[in-house]
Structure 1
């Protein structure tokens, strides 16, 4: 009887964990293909500037607010304790992801560009976890309305300890998937960009 109850409890916990958390209205999601769970698709931060701006202004502010830095992801997978010595042999695995240009595309005719970058989240879960958030920012100017949409948003844990670090992945919106920190990081980038434009 106890085993049946235990299995039912695990089933309920797993079911609850895939339920999406409450998200701001400017965050759009896509199905993950696993139950009710979803991934962040886009975050819209479009706005009307407090003054008249040009497309050149927007490019300058993008270069100021967004950065596409090289980053290092780490793990200690493969570490072990020697059977005879009792000594701990630590593997320090690293993968370097190169940075590059901020601008992926600039189309002067349509007053549109796509910038790309990455940024660290604040420490989470008691300061034990830090993620890198990778994103594209699609920006266009029309009648002094700035369309600012973050897309292709992914996260990678800076260090995964003894688990293998699999790098960047879509950001899940269920409890424990650390979506709030990813959204906060995107929001901070949007604020930096808007402050520069205004």
Structure 2
């Protein structure tokens, strides 16, 4: 009976941790939260602005060079391993290829719209798919990320459903998604300043 109570307590702790909201994401500057059709809070948009006064390259050229919209392969292969030894996958025949296509979708005046995918690591690789709308002003560039979705590369024995909205739960690590988006902005900014 004591073992059963111990297991239930551990399970309750793990369940509460997995479903807890990441409160810091609600205070992150530029983050807009919305609710999906199930009433769950998700990252709706992320807006940031970076100062720039001298352009050595065009904005659309830097976006085309620095952002990537290549297709990604998602799978539900079983993943084994750790940071200390190599890993291997046991295939179970379920994989999907998603995303891909042209990066630049529209160039109009001071605006560039692009679609791209990036990634980050948190025990395994996650892909982040987004639409980026940039607006060039005299002294700064506004970066607006929308349609932000993520997918885990390997889901183990669980079916990989592909890209989904980023929930504000700690288990969805929305902070790492925002960090990955900021790295995309950094690449564009560095390209603009490069001679």
What's the TM-score once normalised by structure 2's chain length? 0.76
Partner Cα separation in structure 2 for residue 98 and residue 151 of structure 1:
15
Aligned to 1:194: 189
Larger radius of gyration: 1
Residue-by-residue CA offset, 1:119-164 (whole Å, 9 max, x unaligned): 1212x1xx2x211100111011233431111111100110111100
Q: Which runs of 5+ in 1 are unaligned?
A: 78-88
Structure having the larger proportion of residues in strand: 2
Aligned counterpart, 1:185: 180
Counterparts of residues 1-198 of structure 1 (less than 5 Å): 10=12, 14=16, 17-23=19-25, 24-32=28-36, 37-51=40-54, 53=55, 57-76=58-77, 91-108=92-109, 111-122=110-121, 124=122, 127=123, 129-198=124-193
Name the CA distance, whole Å, in 1 between partners of 2:17 and 2:190. Answer: 42
What is the Cα deviation at residue 181 of structure 1? 1.9
Corresponding pairs, count: 175
Distance 1:121 1:20, change over 3 A: same
Structure 1 stretches of 4+ with a deviation exceeding 3 A read 13-16, 32-35
- The 3-state SS of whatever aligns with 1:176 is helix
CA RMSD of aligned residues (A): 3.0
Contact 1:76 1:164 in 2 (8 A): no
Q: For structure 2, which runs of at least 5 residues remain unmatched after alignment?
A: 79-89
CA distance in 1, matches of 2:98, 2:164: 14
Q: Say if 1:69 and 1:98, in contact at 8 Å, map to a contact too.
A: yes
